[in-house]
Structure 1
């Protein structure tokens, strides 16, 4: 069973609106961003409700890696279908909004490609790697450091099956409800 929060738009998409799923894995779903800022702007949603990237722990490292791989795989498949060249890593931006830029309290990774075709404001401010947008590489590196500091250097197991009591209610006090996995 995966957890979902009543009233969470991304939980509704993950667990109910399967027609919006572009690609899925055991723990994540790719959807089209509703307001794209690049020719390829996708969101990779966690199937498990986690409020935001700053709530991730070392146990979530496999989830973040799975989200990264799922997004990259989908982009490569899409580019091939359209007869476009393979992904140019320098033109790919993947990561999470941080702090005040988090508008939906459900873990989601942005994938934007190619960045050179993005509006200057979005490329240089909103999705610029740094304080308010953390790249997936930065998140993975930090989670690996946490894992190593906690003495779990060789453990890739342990992805959470549920969240702690802190996540038992959403920001509006609505209880978490269990929904079947997709």
Structure 2
């Protein structure tokens, strides 16, 4: 929708300082920035997944007397799950970026803050260590979602073949 497109195009880093003014220094601005950066891949992939089901499948379900709720729960939702997980995996790595951006703007602790301090004081070893820790966080989140995907949708081709659909 145009409203979603509008909010997606707003540079999230540019509104991070506003969150700091509105909500003060603390966890809330970081969470909001991470949420905003992560939100759109999930929404867009979910919408694509919900619409990607074959019209013939929906027609068949209707011809057999399925209600809208049954069509959603038994056809659209299961069909959209691979797309949802694809969006979640992308969002999990972006959430780490969002948290760092939130900490760049106004934090006095956290890995993003530590990265800024290391950069300001030319502490290269600390910068690389922090980057490794942030990378590990993103990878751990990504693989936790992948494990959850394998558990919840073992029937999907990407799980059966060992290949990832639309991901790294």
Q: Which protein is richer in helix relative to its size?
A: 2
TM range (shorter): 0.3 to 0.5
TM-score scaled by length of structure 1: 0.35
TM-score scaled by length of structure 2: 0.37
- Larger-gyration structure (1/2): 2
